[in-house]
Amino acid sequence: MSNVVKLELIEVGEGFRFEADAILEAAKGMPFTTIAVLGQLEDGSTWISGNANAGETLVLMERAKRIVVFGESE
């Protein structure tokens, strides 16, 4: 069992990327009720997958946007 650490938003240099597989591995086993995975592929296209309908996914994305932009949740 791995230790789960709360995500703390920090600034990193432009172009820095965390390893995608490590991020996904850390998410395994979490008690999600709704989940959305989105990313940009090498060809520039957007990839989105999730376990909810479009409306629920959009609400989740907007909540995440608020945390990223303002550093606060609801």
Digit-coded pLDDT (tens) for 36-56:
999 999 999 999 999 999 999
Note the pTM of the prediction, 2 decimals. 0.68
Per DSSP, helices labelled H in 1-74 are: 20-27, 54-70
- Looking at residue 3, its pLDDT comes to 73
Q: Can you tell me the distance from the alpha carbon of 19 to that of 55, in angstroms, rounded to the nearest whole number?
A: 29
